Structure 1
Amino acid sequence: MSTQEPSSSQEASKTLVQRAPEVAGNVLRQILEFAIDGNMTIPGAKDAAARCLQTRGDHEAAVESVVRQHVGLAGAQGFLTNLGGLLLLPVALPANLAGLAVVQMRMIAAIAHLRGYDLNDRRVRSALTLAMLGEDDVRKLVASGKLPSTPMGVATAPVFDPILEHAVSERVFGDLGMKMAGKHAVVQVAKRIPLVGGGVGAAADGYFTYALGQYARREFVRRRG
């Protein structure tokens, strides 16, 4: 009896490890699809891009507007989900990460759409997910040979690479998990203070979103005629 328990535990652990790429892919796929398509109350990336284009009348001005709007959205949700301090942290932190991922993914997708990329193309969707890592992490992974190319290279590759898609999903999912575990320790400690935590959360989420927006603008160069 006792000799079988470790075996069962090992089998369960092995199953979890084997399913990790599947879990990561499913979670990020749902975030990506929601960010692009939206729903009845929250417009997706294409609609957000179209509204900015209609208001600004120029694609590059619309890109600037998209970034500015999503930085504001990231800051707002960062403030609200971190306002409660330590007592609400177990609930608020996952909500903050999910909300921030949707906001950032929608911003990156809207930028790519305005620059002429097909958001239904699986290569482009892999590139959008990869861009979520940010410039520094992508540069390091490409330099170390763990990734073959940048978001721009993935979006314009000759063929879709499902193996690369799984690798990107795992990496981005792991990055979100590291943030949840306290990767940005100083920020997380400050978030534990009621009211003050909300302000820190808003500033941090707004800053990271702005940085991703600038990275996406550099990566997804204009393809429209």
Structure 2
Amino acid sequence: MTTVEKLDQSIIMKTLDWAYDKAVNGIPGLDSAEDMANDYLKRDGTLIEKVNSLIRWQNTKAATTGFLTGLGGVIVLPVAIPANIATVMYVQIRMIAAIAHMGGYDLRDDRVKTLVYTCLCGNAAKDIAKDFGIKFGTKLTETAIKNISREVITKINQAVGFRLLTKFGEKGVINLGKAIPLVGGVIGGTVDGISTNIIGNVARDAFIK
């Protein structure tokens, strides 16, 4: 791995950390992940139905042009990365974190945060988790979470960062012309629903089923 790749991977991870902090602690005018989760938990239906409803809402309503513009006025990015990319990361992470909270997980646990990041990789998340003995598709137990060591957290974060780097960039350099692969690109200011749905389903498999 070259120095440029390491630098870019670091930028991605710093942006993810920023987005997670904002998703968990909230941004003025926007619900935190926990607030959004609690709103859906109050609704009728089974837990799976409530989670599916949240995912559907994200598919159709999240990250409208107005949302992006409004958010851009209150955020201060930690690194030199376009606001629209950081915003999409925020939208995705908030959705995943909300699903984790609905499953009863502590969003302030670094191990849970790492699993949230892993879900951002979409279908590849299952392969990354499997490499470290973590099985997506059956609800992760409290014991399984506690057994994730600090060393494993670091290695998973590195794997996730590298995976996102290969999607974001080409030859280790972020290519803004191919930006926002996490959600398939922003079209008309809206998050691509298909990829958002995939990420939401992965999160549901990890934290709910």
| TM-score for both structures, normalised by structure 2 | 0.67
State how 1:40-189 maps to structure 2 within 5 Å: 40-56=28-44, 59-74=47-62, 76=64, 94-135=82-123, 137-141=124-128, 145=131, 147-150=132-135, 156-181=144-169, 188=178
Do residues 37 (structure 1) and 25 (structure 2) align?
yes
- Partner amino acid, structure 1, of 2:23: A
Residues 1:35 and 1:154: Cα distance change in structure 2 (over 3 Å) = farther
Contact 1:53 1:62 in 2 (8 A): yes
2-structure distance, mates of 1:80, 1:46: 21
- Which of residues 190, 195, 201 is equivalent to 1:214? 201
Cα 1:170/1:140, change in 2 over 3 Å: same
Q: Look at both structures and tell me which one has the larger radius of gyration over its CA atoms.
A: 1
Looking at structure 2, the residues matched to 139 and 52 of structure 1 have their Cα atoms a distance apart, in angstroms, of: 26
Question: 2:33 touches 2:95 (CA, 8 Å); kept in 1?
Answer: yes
Please tell me whether the aligned partners of residues 37 and 99 of structure 2 are also in contact (alpha carbons under 8 angstroms). yes
Q: Identity of aligned pairs, percent?
A: 27
| Aligned counterparts of 1:138 and 1:57: Cα–Cα separation in 2 | 28
Note the C-alpha offset of 1:49.
Answer: 0.9
- Give the direction of change, closer, same or farther, for the CA distance of 1:206–1:37 in structure 2 (3 Å limit): same
Matched residue type, 2:187: G
1:138 deviation in Å?
2.9
Q: 1:138 to 1:100 in 2, by over 3 A?
A: same
Aligned AA for 2:22?
F
The question of whether the paired residues in 1 share the 8 Å contact of 2:119 and 2:203 is answered with yes
Q: Distance in 2 between matches of 1:132 and 1:154?
A: 20
Relative to structure 1, the CA distance from residue 150 to residue 102 in structure 2 (aligned partners, 3 Å threshold; closer, same or farther) is farther
Paired positions, count: 183
Deviation at 1:46, TM superposition (A): 0.4
Structure 2: give runs of 5+ residues left out of the alignment: 70-80, 180-185
Tell me by how many angstroms 1:35 deviates. 1.5
What is the CA–CA distance in structure 2 between the aligned matches of 1:36 and 1:176, rounded to whole Å? 21
| Runs of at least 4 residues off by over 4 Å | 19-25, 151-155
TM-score, normalised via structure 1 length: 0.63
Give ranges in structure 1 of 5+ residues lacking alignment. Answer: 1-11, 82-92, 190-196
| 2:12–2:161 Cα contact (<8 Å) kept | yes
Deviation at 1:55, TM superposition (A): 4.1
Q: Secondary structure at the match of 1:157?
A: helix
- Structure with the largest fraction of helix: 1
